[in-house]
Structures are given as C-alpha cells and as structure tokens.
Structure 1
C-alpha cells in the first residue's frame, strides 16, 4: 500500500470509531450547555441543575467506555481517555460554579486551556499533520502539562477527599481531573514521540517557556514588591503628610505594580501572604484567579503596606475604586441596568440642567435580600444638585430639602432600624455628591432621578457641555438613552460620534452606556436676561477680571510631573528680581543657578504635589505658580495628619494668597481650596504670567453678597433688589445661591465652626444641595413629620425640565388672581344676577 495513503486510512478509521464520535458529540454538547449557562445565567443563581446535566453526560460516557472495554491495554484507548478527561474538565468547571474552588480565570488563561484542549484532540490525527505542526503540538503539550500541574497542586488539599468520598455519585472525583491530565499528558508524550528527539525538544521547550515566563514575571513582581516596600519605608512623616501620600508620588506604575498593590482585593492569593481585606481562600466572589499572580505572590511575597493606605494609592492610580462611603447594607449584587440622560441647555446663559435617571437591579434571587445602592457624581465647577426623585411603589416621589444633619439622621434611622424606603443626596468635598438608595430587593429594580444645574465651561471661545459621570454599581452592560435640547439653536455645533442630531436640533442617542461624550458650540455672548423672585433680580453678565496692584516678593513654583523644562526655565528667567523657593521634604529651599537643575529633576519626578501653604510666612507678598497634574489625593484623604491640622489653622486665620495656574485642571486638593476662596486666582500661559509680574498686577477677588463669579463660564451673576418679569429660568437664582453660600462659608468648609441660619435659609429657598443642606425622599408623610422635615413655603422646590422658573412676584400674583376672578365673573355672571336678583 502507498505510504502516503496510510495517514488518510488511519484518519478514516478514527472517524469511523463509534466511541470516538460519541465522545466528540458529548464534548460539544457539554461545551454548548456550559456556555449557555455563562451567557444566560439562571435568575435564581442556582447552577446545580446545570452541573447535574454535565455530570450525567460525563458519567454516561465513562460507563460506555468501561462496557466497551476500549480502555484496556492494546485497544487504542488513549484518544478516548483524553476525550473523557476533556468532558470531565467541562464538568469540573460546571461544578466550580456551585462549589467555587477557583475564582474566575483571566481571559489569557481561559484561552490557554481552550488551546490545550484542542491540541489534545488533534493528537488523534498527528500522523497526517506536517512535521512543523507536530513540533508545535508537542510544544503546546509541554505548556498544557505545566497548566494542569499548577491546577493539580492548587486542588491538592481536595484530592484526598475526592478519593475518600467518591461513592457520592463520583462528584468529589472532579478534584482528580488536573492530576489525571498530568499523568496522561506524560503517557501521550511518550507514546507519540516515537523515539524522535525532535519532538522532545518541542515538549521540553513548551515546559521551559512556561518556566521562563513565570520566572520573569515573578522577578518583576519581586522588584516591584521591594521598590514599593522601600518607598513606603522612606515615606516618613517629615512633611506632615500620611505615608501613603509620599509613597504615591513616586510609586512605580504598570500592570504588575497595580496587581502587587491590589492584592487579594481583586485576586485570589496564597493564604500566608497579603494583608488585604479578610477573605477566606475559598471565598472567591468577585475575584480573579490568575495563576501568574498566585505563583508570583507565593514565590516572591507581597508588599508590607497596610490595606487602608494601599487602597488610597490604588484609587489615585485608578486601578481600584476605594469606597469611603459608610455602607449600612451590602451592595455586592447590585448592577446599573439603564441610564437616561435628559438635558436642556441655555446657550445665551451658559448653563444647563441635566436629569439622570438610573435603574439599579439586585441580581440576588432571594426577594428578602436587601441591598443599598450608593452612587457618586463628580460635578463640574460651580455645579450642584437641584432635584431628587425616588420611585416608590411605581410612583415618582420628589424630595424635600432639609439640613444635612436631619437628612443623615432620618436616612440612617430608617435604613438601619426600620428598613424602609428612603433616598438621600449629600454634598462631598471637591464638588461631588453621593446618592444613597434603599432598599433594592433581590431580583427587583429600583429607579431614582437626580437633577443637576451646571454652568457651561468656556474654552477657546466655545461653550462646552460634558457628560456627568458616576461611580457606583457596575454599569458595564447598562443601556443608555440621551436626549439634549437647546433653548435657542446653537451656532457651529460639534458633538461626539455617539450623539445624533435630529430635525429639531436635538441631540439623541440610544445604545450601550458610554461615559465619555461631550458637545460644544460657538459662544455668541450673554443675553440680558433676568429672573425675579421675592424682591430680588438675578442677572447674568460677562465676567471681566479686575486687576489690583501687587507687591510680589517671593514666587513658589509648585513643581510636579506636569511641568516641562521649558516652563521651569521660563519661570526662572522672569523671576530674577524675586526670591524663588520650592518645597523639598517639607521645607522651603532657595532656588539658585547652582541647584535649579537638580531641584527640578527631583521635583518633576513626583506624580503630583501637595503644596504646604501654611508654611508661607508672608502670604500677601507671595505667589504660588502651579500646573494641573491630574488625579491626586483629596483634602479628606489627609484627615488626622499634622499637615492638615496646620493647614486648617492657617485657613482659619483668613489668609489669601495669589495662585497662578499655568494650565490643566486643578488637582482635587487645589480645587477644594479654591472652593474655600483661599486664592486670588489667575490662569494662563507663561507669557501671561510675565505680563502680570511686569505690571505688578493680579486678578482681584470681587465676589460679595451681590455678585458671585463662575470662573469656568467667564460669567458673573448679580443679585439686586427689585421686581420685574422673569425672562430667565429659576436656575439663575439657584446658581447664585450655591456659589454665594460657598463664598460665604469660605474656610469654614474645611475648618468647621458655626454657620449662619441665613445660609441655610438661602439653600432652602433655592432648593439646592450644599455643604449645609441635603435632599431626601421618605416613604410616608409620617416619616417627614417624625424627623421634623418640612417643605418650605418659600422655595423653588425641585427643578424640572418643564419649569421655566418664571415665579410671579406678589403684585403679579394679585394680577393673576384678579384675572381669574374676572373670568369667573364674566362666565357665571347671568347665574349670579339671576340668583341674587
């Protein structure tokens, strides 16, 4: 017979083998059934019935093999045994969804297991494949041996129990599957090599490659562990900042460094390592089981940094979301399913009102399971929350504004004790807000709506509206609907691709939730529009900086990684007549021609900077020059540090200092201080700074009780006594009230102390969330009465899309009432005359 026809004959024989074909069909069936359970998980979360089907198919095939006698020596049973092991592997991972021994594997390991499984099947047709492909088969076989050896070692504690309890329908024998794969991989290699060393090199190359990858990964892991450990050990308290802040400035970045820091908060780890959140080895919910991470942690150890401090570092690096909100109930099963964004924009007033309606679902099937949803919204500069609604028994219930203390007390008592329906929104530092919703029952959805009034930012002659993002229950698979309308048609409208323009100049979108989208349009100037209420006229006018004379003596460059060498040299060139100092390790150092390069190299290596304003001796004659460095710690993160103690003391003394921003968004630290009206603030490039220094001028703070400034919108809002017809929405009053309260509180935002009842009354009248006030929705009127939460008679109430804010003045009310009485008289005049004639 022609030798070339032998492989084809063997292939035909293999395909005609009934037991082999039966095994292929059963493997395909179990894979399809397993995948269906992954894509469409059971609503009740009970995977036991899904496992029973896979286990039943595995048992049937094993019995068929035993009865056929194909596993006996000399009956060509190796391909059939490999098929059985692959079916058993699918069954084992199906059991893992019921009894979670392994956390979810990362994508790379899943693909590796699939590749190894296909390779095992292809060994049945090895003789018809080209020699290079055969070598690749042995290479993958060596990798497969390493993978299953790892799995066998990991489940080794269960292997003994698997043998002892095998009589229980053979379920415990699943623990033996990785070990059997290792044994039969060796058998397959020895039988298929046919004495050719060429194939041995492929097999051992596969093993060597895995060992090399693990060694290199573990080495990089160890380098990061040592480096982070050294940085933390040297991150002493000499500048008054917490150790983790100093660590964060220079910590190495990259995927492996992040994995080292995250530890068991996101990855299954060896029992004896890591001081992360208290998790049992077999409690694997929401974790990833990455064999590389597990092996590296075992061989190279983990970082000795307390978890609370590590979490702050990870949040700043955006590798981990550290939730500092106090949870009264769990939220691990909550998921955001739908986001609806409806916005209305007033181009002639440079402001927008946005309503976000969110649906939250509890994926736990147990109806008695109650969980608490907490969302954080980061608002634009000058923006605030002006409405809140919660759907209770299918009906939208609107919020009432009260003091922050009353709202917090009512929410905590009802959620923690009575376990009934409330929702509350609180102001947070850095102009963010936290929304809490309770309860979200198992298998059900809750819906709430938050309304946000925000000025539009002016950028290069254009007004820009950006989507307001949030942090909270996972929204990866959420659906989104967007609807944006304009009071007047904008000129030169540009928008992200996710949006579509309709014939009415509305921007709409429907599809998957996306956080990053925006729109912009040409600014045609502010129209003279007025909102009138309670004897006060609110008017938006363009803001033009008013300059005041300065006597700058010392310039403090706040250098960080955002600075360029060009900016540093330009600043030094224009500052020769001034004293220039930088902060190094908590002390100010004079910059000279001898040390300027060394100081810049040292400071520009820091990811961010936390400038110690309290160390400045003469604030009136000092100027700090900074540049936005993106994410950095907030002031709240510095709580209990000596740095913050001295900073608050300095703020309490009423100091005000000149701050010039060379570009970029201010860090959260500086943004909060700016909210406290700590600075005379200027922004521009190096040339603009030179002009100010040469002219000995700097922008003045011109805010007072009748005028507030919204820097980002280049707009001022005036509040003057008087009456008249309203041509602007009520958001103008709300915008003035929020920024006036922030201006009036000033350093009290951080230092605490008493605040006047006048500011609380102003917040209630405007119905806005501030550091002093919160919005709350309770289930019954009795709940409001019990906590003494009352709706104000002199309030704008919840903002809304249909509310144009034209609140009538007292004399206008008289005209309206008189008009209504006249209409009634004219309509029913004959009846009145007839009755009283």
Structure 2
C-alpha cells in the first residue's frame, strides 16, 4: 500500500497533473450536478453544464497544444485530455442533444474507460498496469466504438462547427480517441500476452452479454413478425390489423423495447437521418427519445414486424398501460413536477360510498422556456365517478362548470392553443379512468387544482373495502403528501398504512402517493336517502333473482388463462352446442378436439368477440385477464359500429369465471350490452346444469351498484320522505343512468340529450360530459357554456348533505327572521 501511495505521489508531482486534477474534479462535479438536476426535473442546474463546457474547451485547447509541442514532456497527461474531452461531449449534449438522452450506465461506462486509461498508459519505469485494468478497459472500450460509429453522420457538421465556434470538435472526439487508444493499446498488448488475454476477456464478456440480449430480442421480434404474416390472411375488415398482434403479444421486457423502436428508443436508421426526433406518426407519445447503445445495436439484428408507429403506440396503450403517454398534449410538460398532494377521504358506511378529494400543487423548475401543460390520469375503482374540479386562478378558487364533452374540449383547445390563458379540463376515459389537464405552468406561476371522486365501497367477505386512487402525472414520487380519513358514524376501520390522530382527524404524512386500502365491517342498510327536486333517492340492498335460462349456444371466450380441465368440464356437460371463435370462425368444441383447440390459444391474451354474430339468447363463459383494447382504441372500426347496433337486442348473458375483468368487458358490462355475472368456475357449471342465470333486479327507477351490493331507488317525494344521507347518493344514481342509456345516444344530438342535462344536474363527468374551469365568466359565454344553475354543483368534502329546495329555503328564511326579531325584542325589554 505504501509503495502505491509513493507512486501516486510521484505521479501528482509531474508537470501539469495537479492543475489537471483540479480542472477534471471541478468539471465532473458540475456535470454530475447538472445531470442529476435534469433527471429530477430541477432544470436550474442545467446552466452548470455550460460553465463546465467552457472550462473543458479552454483546458482541451491548452493541453492539446502542449502535447503536440512537447510530446515527451506532457504525454503522461493523455488520459486527462481523453477524460476531459468526454466530459465536454456530455456537457454539450445537455443543451444540444446530439446523443439524445443517455442511460446512466453509458456515463458510468465511459468514465470507467477513461479512468482505466490512467493505469494502462505509462510514461515511466513504474508499473501502474495490471490484468484487472486491462479487463476493465476492454469491457468498456465498446462504448467508444459505438460513439464513433454513431457520430459518423455528424462529421461534416462537426468540421463546420470547428471552423465556426470550435465546439464542433466534440463531434469528432470518439473517432479521435478510438484511433489514439487503438494505437496505444496495441503496443502494450504486443509486449505481454497476459495483457492481451485480459483485454480480450473484457471485450468478450460484453460481447456475450450483448449476444444474449440480441437473441432474446430477435426471438420476440420473430414472433411478432410471424403473427403479422399469419394474421394477414384473416379476412377481417371489421377490426384494425394491429389488434391481432395485440391479442397475441405478451407484455414483457423485450416486447416493450421492440414496440418503442423509433418512438422512445433510437434505431440505427436514425443515425443517418436528420428528420425531426418526434416525427414518428400521426399519434403522439409523450416521452423523450433515449439513445441506448445495447438496444440500438440489437435493433440491427431484429426483423421488421411491419407495424406502423401508430400501430405500435396503440399496442403500447392496450398491452402496456401507456395511455397517459399517448394523451394529446398541446404543450410540453417535461419540466413539471408535483410538489404537494393533499388526499382527503370521507367514508359513508351507511351508504357504502366514499368521497375522495385530491389537491395537487404543480411546479416547474425550468427558467425562461415558456409555459407548460400538466396531464394527470386517475385510475378509479369500479363504478366510481368524478364529481368536482377546481383551479386556483390569481389566488382564488374557481370551480368547474359541467358541459358537453365536445364544448369543453373545443373551449380548452381554443384557450390553450390560441389564447394561452388559464383553463383546466376533466375528461372521462374508458376503463374507470379520468384525465385532468392544467395550463399554463412555468417557474414563476406554480398551479393548484383540486378534483373529487365519488367511489362505491366494494363488498367482499362481509367487509366493505375502500381502495385509494392510482394517479399518474408529472413526477409524483417526490411529492410531499398528507392524507386524511374521516368516517361518518361510529364504524370501526382498519387501514393498510398508519394514520395518526391529530387535531381530531386521522392523518398520514408521506412522500409520493401510497397505494393503500381500508376495510370495515359490512353495515346493514338502514333508511339512508337524499331528496332532490321533489324526488327521493334511497339506498337499498341489491336484489338478486335467479331466472330460468336455457342458452341457444354456449361460447367459450378462450385465451391463455384457461386450463384443459376447465374446458373439459364444460365439454362434459350435457350440452351439444358449445363453441369457440377461432380466427373469427365459430367452431364446435368436443371431447375429441378441445385439447388441440386450446393449443391455438396458448399465446392468446384477450379476445374481441363478434357479439353481433351470436344467436339470440347466447351464453358466453369468459375468463379475462387485466388488459385488452377498449372501445376508444377501435372507435372508428366497423366492429364497434356493429357492436353498438346489433348486440343489445340479442339478450346475451355473460359469466366471468375469473377474478379480473379487462377494459373491453368492463365497458360492455357498464353500458349494458349484455347481462353480466361474475362467479366461480364450479358455480358456473351448476348454473348451466340447472338452466339458470343470476340477474340483479332492475327497474327504470333504479340503478344497481354491484361492487357495493346496493341499489339506489328513485321515487316521488312524500311528506314522510327523509333526507338523512349524502348527496353522493344522487350523483351515483345519475352516473348509472347515463352509462345505461349512453348506447342510445347519437353524437350529433349530445347537446339536446336528456342525459346531458342529468349529468349537469348531478355535476358528474361521463362519456358525454366534462368539467372545465375557465379564467373569466366571459370565457364561458364566448364558448357557449352555461354556468351551473339549480344543480348540485361541485362536490365538496365539507358540504355533502341535502340541499334545501326553494320552499325549504323560504321556511329557513322565515325561521331566521323570527328568531332575529324575537332576540331584538327581548334585548329591548332587558334594557
């Protein structure tokens, strides 16, 4: 150890080493701080990279001239100049993204290569070299080869840049280092065979790792290409061609990389192309391009699957839950982060409902780069509905106004895209999702918005369960979060995260947004109702009825979730009319062919059954997974048009024997295209044998909330009617009615449809209505949006009871006036 310290001391005493260490350490520190700042969205630190670049540029010129002028005297500084050249390259890349975004491992590998050079290059009799450093140098040398190849197209620009500003030199650095290092390393490898073996072992290790990665990626690309070819023979013009690929594509690490080619990850084709980095198709994907050398090299060996970028984005949406990344974004939002979150939950056990209010503070660290747009996606529990939206404008809370989805979208685009002023928009999305947009946000004007959601409590095993919301948006992981939970009544509750009693409320402080749930004993439904406009809305236990049902045919909705035993059990029933759809054709299933048929579905993840082709009174047995395309993905297809026009009248029954439900079946269920029931595999067999089907009792004046096992009844108000429940009861009733009747609504009659008025009355976001906040009252008038009058208005955590009707207001005023005059009279008498 003492010997090594003496060697290091001697090296630092050589000419120029001390100043080189100082410059390198200072520049590296500035670069690291800058990169961390960019990664964490603290863009103020980006300017540090410019300072580092200027230092490196001056240092490089001086040191290069000294080495060229007096090689023997300064050659020991060659490792310093190579290291500082690459520091300069990375600094330049922070504001002129020639390399695009680089993974962390690329920076570490490059620095490892440069550091190992100090132990390999020598200019004295002291032996600084050993086998470990030759191995490390060989393992990291590949990154230099990659950079040199990658920058070939930029060589002419780099030469011009040298003549103009001098900075163009950094475009030639990898090629120069490649030549210099190759000439230098060959001298050492010729002197000692062990050095050669060690260096070769380093290169081979990386090569083997890359080879294994390429093999995995090429296997999956071959599968996709084969699927595209095979499915191209299916003459199904009703669905988009990419659907068949999506149905047969497993969401895994390799497939996501393949689908993100040219969209997120740079392909080798991009190296020799100067087209816009985001010009990849008609659809948008909100993620910056990444230059990952391993992935880019592997793409060279992968077969082109023949999918357009729009098709790949659609598959990413359905198979990989990338819907937020594909939302239309009018303005960039890369530099935003969520600063604070307030999560306020109020639970109504007697109504089996909960109201969750989320307040978000959004900030932007980047200076003088204009305004940005924030987009948040809220994944809601089944049956939930958005019931409030507020945006703070000039320090004051402005509440959302409910209107048709077309008017809201048009107004938002006009104000954001043309007028650049303050709006916020809340939209309903399929699959229990709600999207909220906020504009503008910059470093001087952080924004605050609040939104609320009414949620049924899910009933399972004699318990009621509340599930927190899943939220995606600008950098939520570091937000300072405070959660509060309130219980109406004396019901005991248990939560999966700790809530402390403070100031009379149970609260929790954390970082980011936790996924948590609360459970409580199942309450019996007592008289719990809400009165509104001469109607009373009462919560009752849901009524199940067993009806006689003999299906005309049984369709097994097969996919890779099914087992041989399950199919065999259905085949062994005394039913001769059991079928499955194979490549769009209805095929009978028998004891002789069911095993072979299941093989056709071993890579099949979800189906989109042609419900409009089924016989009257058909029964579908499904076992769905968690993902699929939904109606929004196929909205322009003939398939969806036929579903809407030819399904509901067929009296189709569906039994789901799985624990999950995918977005397709969720929408079909919600919009009442079929009668849907979820039960166990064994129970489904009994129902078929007994020619029975379980239905929830329905009526024109009732809405079933199946997850909460309750029904909300609408009846005329009487003198005996009570209003002892929350107004969320009426909001849930209205949401259920809109979803039930949505299939009847034509796009060109939305504005005059009674269900838009119902949505306005209850202030709920639905497939036909949205909430919007505009800066001024005049903005609403210009866009033809009427403000809420005589409606429930926005829900609130502190105001959830009955709203007095006009005659009740009169009685209240008379009562208050009487008390006032009585008080004054008594006061005078006392005096």
Aligned partner of 1:21 in structure 2 is 18
Change (3 A) 1:494 1:327: closer
Aligned partner of 2:711 in structure 1 is 716
Does the residue aligned with 1:482 lie in a helix, a strand or coil? Answer: strand
Cα deviation, residue 585, structure 1: 1.0
Tell me the number of residue pairs that the alignment of Structure 1 and Structure 2 aligns. Answer: 819
Does the residue aligned with 1:635 lie in a helix, a strand or coil? Answer: coil
Does the residue aligned with 1:637 lie in a helix, a strand or coil? Answer: coil
Q: 2:729 aligns with which of 718, 732, 735?
A: 732
The correspondence of residues 136-147 of structure 1 with structure 2, limited to 5 A, is 136-147=132-143
Aligned partner of 2:678 in structure 1 is 683
Cα deviation, residue 554, structure 1: 2.0
Structure 1: tracts of 5 or more residues without a match: none
TM-score computed with the length of structure 1 as normaliser? 0.89
Aligned partner of 1:585 in structure 2 is 583
RMSD: 3.5
Q: 1:693 aligns with which of 688, 694, 710?
A: 688
Aligned partner of 1:607 in structure 2 is 605
Cα deviation, residue 272, structure 1: 6.0
**Contact 1:582 1:591 (C-alpha < 8 Å) held by counterparts:** yes
Aligned partner of 1:529 in structure 2 is 528
The correspondence of residues 36-185 of structure 1 with structure 2, limited to 5 A, is 36-40=33-37, 47=46, 50-57=49-56, 59-60=58-59, 63=62, 72-75=70-73, 77-123=74-120, 134-159=130-155, 162=158, 166=162, 170-185=166-181
Cα deviation, residue 387, structure 1: 1.1
Aligned partner of 1:361 in structure 2 is 363
1:290 aligns with 2:285: no
1:422-454 CA deviation, whole Å, 9 max, x = no partner?
223233333433323333346532221111111
Change (3 A) 1:746 1:278: same
Cα deviation, residue 74, structure 1: 4.5
Does the residue aligned with 1:716 lie in a helix, a strand or coil? Answer: strand
Does the residue aligned with 2:408 lie in a helix, a strand or coil? Answer: helix
Cα deviation, residue 152, structure 1: 1.7
Aligned partner of 1:266 in structure 2 is 264
Cα deviation, residue 274, structure 1: 12
Distance 2:182 2:775 in 1: 67
**Contact 1:138 1:189 (C-alpha < 8 Å) held by counterparts:** no
**Contact 1:389 1:777 (C-alpha < 8 Å) held by counterparts:** yes
**Contact 2:542 2:696 (C-alpha < 8 Å) held by counterparts:** no
Aligned partner of 1:829 in structure 2 is 825
1:503-539 CA deviation, whole Å, 9 max, x = no partner?
6785533333235332223323333222222222222
1:713-770 CA deviation, whole Å, 9 max, x = no partner?
1111122222444221111111112112322x15326898779754333323222222
Change (3 A) 1:478 1:274: farther
**Contact 1:274 1:303 (C-alpha < 8 Å) held by counterparts:** no
The correspondence of residues 363-442 of structure 1 with structure 2, limited to 5 A, is 363-366=365-368, 369-441=370-442
Cα deviation, residue 807, structure 1: 2.3
**Contact 1:48 1:98 (C-alpha < 8 Å) held by counterparts:** no
Structure 2: tracts of 5 or more residues without a match: 281-285
Distance 2:225 2:272 in 1: 13
Distance 2:273 2:148 in 1: 26
Distance 2:725 2:146 in 1: 69
**Contact 2:605 2:625 (C-alpha < 8 Å) held by counterparts:** yes
1:307 aligns with 2:317: no
Distance 1:366 1:449 in 2: 27
TM-score computed with the length of structure 2 as normaliser? 0.90
Change (3 A) 1:810 1:559: same
Distance 2:179 2:819 in 1: 97
Cα deviation, residue 659, structure 1: 0.8
Cα deviation, residue 567, structure 1: 2.6
**Contact 2:190 2:196 (C-alpha < 8 Å) held by counterparts:** no
Change (3 A) 1:267 1:572: same
Change (3 A) 1:40 1:658: closer
Does the residue aligned with 1:700 lie in a helix, a strand or coil? Answer: strand
Q: 2:340 aligns with which of 338, 341, 345?
A: 338
1:704 aligns with 2:711: no
Distance 2:827 2:255 in 1: 87
Cα deviation, residue 576, structure 1: 2.5
**Contact 2:158 2:172 (C-alpha < 8 Å) held by counterparts:** yes
Cα deviation, residue 305, structure 1: 0.8
Distance 2:811 2:140 in 1: 87
**Contact 1:51 1:91 (C-alpha < 8 Å) held by counterparts:** no
Cα deviation, residue 101, structure 1: 1.2
1:253-301 CA deviation, whole Å, 9 max, x = no partner?
532332221112112223369999952799x982211112222334546
Cα deviation, residue 371, structure 1: 3.5
**Contact 1:238 1:585 (C-alpha < 8 Å) held by counterparts:** no
Cα deviation, residue 364, structure 1: 4.5
The correspondence of residues 778-797 of structure 1 with structure 2, limited to 5 A, is 778-797=774-793
Does the residue aligned with 1:116 lie in a helix, a strand or coil? Answer: helix
Cα deviation, residue 673, structure 1: 1.0
Does the residue aligned with 1:105 lie in a helix, a strand or coil? Answer: coil
Change (3 A) 1:127 1:752: farther
Aligned partner of 2:283 in structure 1 is none
Q: Which moved more, 1:552-561 or 1:45-54?
A: 45-54
Cα deviation, residue 617, structure 1: 1.6
Change (3 A) 1:280 1:609: closer
Aligned partner of 2:488 in structure 1 is 487
Change (3 A) 1:714 1:79: farther
Change (3 A) 1:315 1:389: same
1:549 aligns with 2:548: yes
Change (3 A) 1:141 1:325: closer
Aligned partner of 2:768 in structure 1 is 772
Distance 1:754 1:532 in 2: 27
Change (3 A) 1:510 1:230: same
1:621-655 CA deviation, whole Å, 9 max, x = no partner?
x211111311100022123333223222213x623
